Chain A
Amino acid sequence: MTSETKKTLFTPFNIFAGIVLLIGAYLTVMRFTGGLAAVTNLDDNNPWGIWIGFDLLCGVALAAGGFTTSAAVYIFGMKKYHSAVRPAILTAFLGYALVVFALHYDVGRPWRLPYPIFLQPGTTSLLYEVGLCVFLYLTVLAIEYSVAALEWLGLKKLRSLVHKLTLLLTIFGVVLSTLHQSSLGALYLIAPSKLHPLWYSTYLPIQFFVSAIAVGLSMVIFEGTLSHKPFHHKMDATFLAEHDGVILGFARGASMVLACYLAIKIIALGADNNWKYLVSGWGAWYLFEILGFVALPSLLYAIGSRERNIKLIKWTAALTVFGVVLNRFNVSLVAFNWQLPSAQRYFPSWGEIGVSVFVVVVGILVFRFIVTRMPIFYEHPEYKDAH
């Protein structure tokens, strides 16, 4: 076991990560000496690019596995999924931490990020709600995650104290997640004149919330698969034995949630009487999104869980995750400012993409550091019955 973990430092991934970190360092210097203009393609008509569309919107959605899993286990009493909680909480914690980290590049004066919370709250702003909830939820996640860290450090007393808060933290986490997942969609409510009617809807908040649950469940499946290979030796028998059960159960859940999401999408279309837009290029793109990445995965999940086809389920999870990323891109970038002439439309610069990749790689490195050291994929023997 010990020889297995001591691999050479120069794996292909490590070399790639090293290069990305160097590029990230370069872009960081550029951003904080030359301003946004030095690294981004943002302009006065397109104030938000992929640092919001991907890093913020997708980052928060993809981290939804944390609250969905802990709610399933601790509130809905699905104890058999218990081993999925810790990886999901860790991913969520890192995800949110990275979202906040990435925002430091995007906003003009990052050290003022606490202003809206502590100095002069703009309570009429949906962005205020997002900020406040993300701030509080990051705190909740840090406490939830600290249980694993405290076990690692051997601080038993503190650990059992924090552990007692589990239910309270879980409920608080669900409330906060409901609020900010939906508010991310609500951010766009203020701009009906800029977002294409097929994507603009008064239902945007609930669409964001429901799709976040679907992607949260899918991420647990998807990421379990990704982690399985490199970290197999770190996973204990409980995790491995429960793993297939988790996948089947989550697939069934995700199938239903996606069906619900599809229904809401169609209701929204009917409520605003937007059928006429379907027969246009935008309509085709819209149908591509909801048929290919909502309806199809819903069906595939249903088939996969009925036939216990783990492989199909894993591919469907990837499809769902991709679909939600596509949706966030459509709302924030593709269908936003759709009326502007093409010369004035936004396309990310390599520097923006570079920073986004940099942020993701930092996340993977920290994730790897933690799961190879702390009890994430296995239970700490001294606390075995304490769950």
Chain B
Amino acid sequence: MRRRKFLALMGVAGAGLALGKTPAQAAGNVHFEGYPDAKAVLFDATRCIGCRKCEAACNKVNKLPAPAKPFDDLKVLDGERRTTAKAYTVVNRYQPAGAAAPVFRKLQCNHCQEPACASACFVRAFKKNPDGSVTYDASVCVGCRYCMMACPFNVPAYEYDEPLTPRVMKCTMCHPQIESGELTMPGCVGACPKEALVYGKRKDILKIAHARIEAFPGRYVDHVYGESEMGGTNWLYLSGVPFKEIGMREDLGVTSAPELTSGALAVVPMVAAVWPALLGGIWAISKRNGKVADEERKEAVKTAVAANQADNDAKLAKAKEQAEKDKKDSIEREVKKALEEAASAAKEEEGA
């Protein structure tokens, strides 16, 4: 009971913020385990050779514009890149300390189980589909770019050079193409010559990933990246070197995006319900206090005014006459000033 009262009070102060760690249900966001038949992709960094075939395939199946440098130009790998409005996926090369050969890592949307982008969008332009993919609907997007602020993996890109119809661009897990039957698996997965990418049900993919670690414990870091990061993702990763060595953040935690904001959202109805009652009460009290003071003051004013009524009238008339001559907009202030002068003069006289 006491706790509840405390929480209500905190809510009043707009402070639920303290409740950042309340269960997600507080805002109506029930913990989501993922759709049962959701698909996932496994990327195995120990198999990737950095050929950029996935990049080329992605460009083709999504009909993206041709890049400045062709996909077989591996010089591109010299610099670290990120996804852009013209490239839903990129492969980067890393040289981890102590590793004999460079390691490659493919980057694209991770299709989070509880996507930050979808939770952040104020027009629900993003959708988590039953097949695990997270897709975007440009027909409602306002272009506020809060989704980009929210994505912990810095994935969505924006058409900054579009003056009136900019879209947010990101990997779709080839959802439209698979849905329409054009593809049976994502374009990038199909194009990989080394089977560094595997597509299947998330449950099965997780089993495969753990089986690989078990079979070759010396080869892999004992962690499936994406199994629980930010509440889990539908793109999973295996690596032979620590993930942070290949540009992946290890400090994201397992709290999903909706859980991060549910506390603040839960406070909204509290403020809306409790504030008016509280403020109304304060108003009632202060009004009553004001009334008492007012009455006392009125009494005093009455006596003073009566004594100097005649004097006031004369001065007022004079001021009015003069004001008439003035321009119209200044009349009001002059009269008022005269009134005040008269009142203070009267007071002075009274005091004298």
A residues engaging B (CB < 8 A)? 1-2, 31-38, 40, 42-45, 47-48, 71, 74-77, 79, 106-110, 112-113, 115-116, 119-122, 124-129, 131, 167, 171-172, 174-175, 178-179, 181-183, 186-187, 189-194, 201-206, 209, 236-237, 378-382, 384
Contact = CB atoms under 8 A, between A and B. Distances in A.
B119 A190 contact: yes
A236 B337 contact: yes
B161 A34 contact: yes
A319 B263 CA distance: 32
A107 B143 contact: yes
A47 B158 contact: yes
A77 B284 CA distance: 9
Contact of A116 (B122, B167, B267): B122
A171 to B, nearest CB: 5
A87 to B, nearest CB: 16
16 contacts: A2-B329, A37-B160, A44-B156, A75-B283, A106-B144, A107-B143, A108-B167, A112-B140, A112-B141, A120-B123, A121-B123, A126-B265, A171-B276, A174-B275, A187-B149, A202-B19
Interface stretch (B51-59, B62-70, B174-182, B254-262): B254-262
Interface in B56-115: 82-85
Interface stretch (B186-194, B285-293, B303-311): B285-293
Contacts of B336: 236-237, 378-379, 381, 384
Nearest to A3: B327
A48 B149 contact: yes
Given A115-B142, A174-B275, A236-B333, A44 B157 contact: yes
Given A36-B166, A76-B282, A109 B141 contact: yes
Contacts of B143: 107-109, 112
B38 interface: no
B251 interface: yes
Which of B264, B326, B329 has its CB near the most chain A CB atoms (within 10 A)? B264
B257 A107 contact: no
Interface string B135-169: 00000111111101110101011111111111100
A167 to B, nearest CB: 6
A35 B264 contact: no
A236 B272 CA distance: 38
B272 A175 contact: yes
Interface of B: 13-21, 27, 29, 82-85, 116, 118-125, 140-146, 148-150, 152, 154, 156-167, 249, 251-253, 257-258, 260-261, 263-265, 267-268, 271-272, 275-276, 279-280, 282-283, 286-287, 289-290, 326-327, 329-330, 332-333, 335-337, 340
B120 A125 contact: yes
Which of B142, B253, B276, B335 has its CB near the most chain A CB atoms (within 10 A)? B142
Contacts of A31: 163
Contact of B264 (A109, A171, A174, A182): A182
Given A77-B286, A189-B260, 15 more contacts: A35-B162, A43-B160, A47-B158, A79-B290, A115-B123, A124-B27, A125-B121, A129-B265, A171-B275, A171-B283, A182-B264, A193-B249, A205-B14, A206-B13, A384-B336
Contacts of B144: 106-108, 127
A44 B88 CA distance: 12
A237 B339 CA distance: 11
B123 A124 contact: no
Contacts of B282: 75-76
A171 B274 CA distance: 11
Given A174-B279, A191-B149, A191-B152, A128 B17 contact: no
Contacts of B164: 32, 108-109
Nearest to A382: B332
A38 B271 contact: no
A124 B261 contact: yes
A65 to B, nearest CB: 18
B198 to A, nearest CB: 27
Contacts of B251: 193
A113 B122 CA distance: 10
B163 A237 contact: no
A179 B13 CA distance: 10
Contacts of B340: 237
A1 B142 contact: no
A38 B326 CA distance: 54
B265 A381 contact: no
B265 A167 contact: no
B156 to A, nearest CB: 8
B154 A44 contact: yes
Contacts of A47: 145-146, 148-149, 158
Q: Closest 5 CB pairs between A and B?
A: A108-B143, A77-B286, A202-B20, A47-B145, A128-B122
A128 to B, nearest CB: 4
Contacts of A182: 14, 17, 264, 267
B163 A191 contact: no
A313 B116 CA distance: 44
Contacts of B18: 202-203, 206
Contacts of A381: 332-333, 335-336
A37 B279 contact: no
A112 B163 contact: no
Contact of A48 (B116, B145, B260, B275): B145
Contacts of B120: 125-127, 190
Contacts of A384: 336
A67 to B, nearest CB: 11
Nearest to B156: A44
Which of B145, B152, B165, B263 has its CB near the most chain A CB atoms (within 10 A)? B145
Contact of A192 (B14, B167, B260, B289): B260
Contacts of A33: 163
B268 A2 contact: no
Contacts of B145: 47-48, 107-108
B142 A113 contact: yes
Contacts of A116: 122-123, 142
Nearest to A106: B144
